[in-house]
Amino acid sequence: MSKNAKFFLPGPVYVRDEIKEAMKGPTIGHRSKDFSVLYEKIVKGIAEILHTDGRIYLSSSTATGLMEAAVRNVIQKSSLHLICGSFGQLWYTIAKSCGKDAVPLEVDWGKAIKPEAVRSALAEGNYDTVCITHNETSTGVMNPLKEISEVVKEFEDVALIVDAVSSMAGTEILVDEWGLDVCLASVQKAWALPPGFSIASISERAFERSKNAENKGFYFDFEMFEKYHLRSQTISTASTPHMYALSKQIDDMLAAGMESRYEKIIQMAERVREWARENFGLFADEEYLSPTVTCVKNSKNIDVTSLLNKLNDKGYVMGNGYGKLKGETFRIAHMGDLNIDDIEGLLRTIDETISEME
Ligand SMILES: *Cc1c(COP(=O)(O)O)cnc(C)c1O
């Protein structure tokens, strides 16, 4: 693969040079004043982007770690899992592995979870928590989170925990208004940083539940997070290169305005969808298309692996279908710091490569 390959994987995503440069900041101790200043700045920026006055925790793990944290701290006994693809299934698997009474509500992949289905399931069962994947990266579906959050609010003391890994910083999320108890993401998706770091917002209810949670472990205990958060520190040694990068990215995002970032992402999405409709078709329900990733249906039955290899040789990296959709679909990310010219370049190169394959 060429050294300057253009990256259109739905994670890890393309990282611009300025971000890599920012990561070279000085090594600082995680109990130093400089660290706390950096920490406070990042937390404040993320809270602004997520429209929350609540807590923001930083984790030197990927989001899967925070998913396990949310499961252990927030689910009391029984959780309802809204599943429309591989990542919804991951939540369910994590909850099961932590000994929770996890129950799936699954729809056909490519479809979104409907608020009415959530209402019926909550009315019938006895759940204390709902787990949802906001943007299902494996199918290119974005679930109607706002509408689902309104349904969850109809039920007393049901927490809503949200995997927003591939939507946060790619589309607007109103954490407080929608009442999201945990909203978590890795930084290697729409935040457009290298992988290895993740962030979450934590509501008062989520934190209170943690106090009574049993067997929640040590590394991902919200009470431990809080203890250090109050000192503007992390529980253990943090990945300060990621924090420098995040600080730089937040500065640039807020300077340009989140609205313009979201708009740019939609423009790229529309271009990719238009191309996909003309050439292959979309895997996801038209009504719930993801702004950040398009899952293209391999209706022409091309050899996807061969296409990806040929694109690699030309310096373009895009994603195969995920899990059971491998080969049946392929995925193009249009999030982070990519722009419309990058997308045009990719689509041209795909067209050219496919005609060479015929
Ligand atoms: C990428 C992804 C994950 C997993 O994130 P890691 O950073 O690899 O832990 C979880 N959920 C969704 C929706 C994703 O896109």
Spell out the per-residue pLDDT of the chain, length 358, in tens: 455 678 999 999 999 999 999 999 999 999 999 999 999 999 999 999 999 999 999 999 999 999 999 999 999 999 999 999 999 999 999 999 999 999 999 999 999 999 999 999 999 999 999 999 999 999 999 999 999 999 999 999 999 999 999 999 999 999 999 999 999 999 999 999 999 999 999 999 999 999 999 999 999 999 999 999 999 999 999 999 999 999 999 999 999 999 999 999 999 999 999 999 999 999 999 999 999 999 999 999 999 999 999 999 999 999 999 999 999 999 999 999 999 999 999 999 999 999 999 8
Q: Which atom of ligand 1 is nearest to the CA of 186?
A: 7
Q: How many angstroms separate the alpha carbon of residue 64 from the centre of ligand 1?
A: 6
DSSP three-state, residue 165: coil
CATH superfamily of 6-13+257-357: Aspartate Aminotransferase, domain 1 (3.90.1150.10)
Contact 44, 178 (CB under 8 A): no
Q: Which atom of ligand 1 is nearest to the CA of 64?
A: 9
Contact 178, 151 (CB under 8 A): no
How many angstroms separate the CA atoms of 351 and 261, rounded?
27
Q: How many angstroms separate the alpha carbon of residue 165 from the centre of ligand 1?
A: 5
CATH of 17-255, one of 3.40.830.10, 3.90.650.10, 3.40.640.10, 2.60.40.10: 3.40.640.10
How many angstroms separate the CA atoms of 139 and 118, rounded?
20
How many angstroms separate the CA atoms of 234 and 237, rounded?
7
How many angstroms separate the CA atoms of 60 and 5, rounded?
26
Q: Residue count of the chain, please give it.
A: 358
How many angstroms separate the CA atoms of 269 and 294, rounded?
7
Q: Phi then psi for 80, rounded to 5 degrees?
A: -100, 125
Contact 56, 43 (CB under 8 A): yes
Q: Which helix (H) or strand (E) holds 346?
A: helix 340-357
Q: How many angstroms separate the alpha carbon of residue 136 from the centre of ligand 1?
A: 9
Domain residue spans of the chain: 6-13+257-357, 17-255
Say if strands 129-133 and 78-83 run parallel, antiparallel, or are unpaired. Answer: parallel
Instruction: List the end-to-end C-alpha distance of the chain, in Å, as a whole number.
Output: 23
Two structure tokens written together for 176? 């407080």
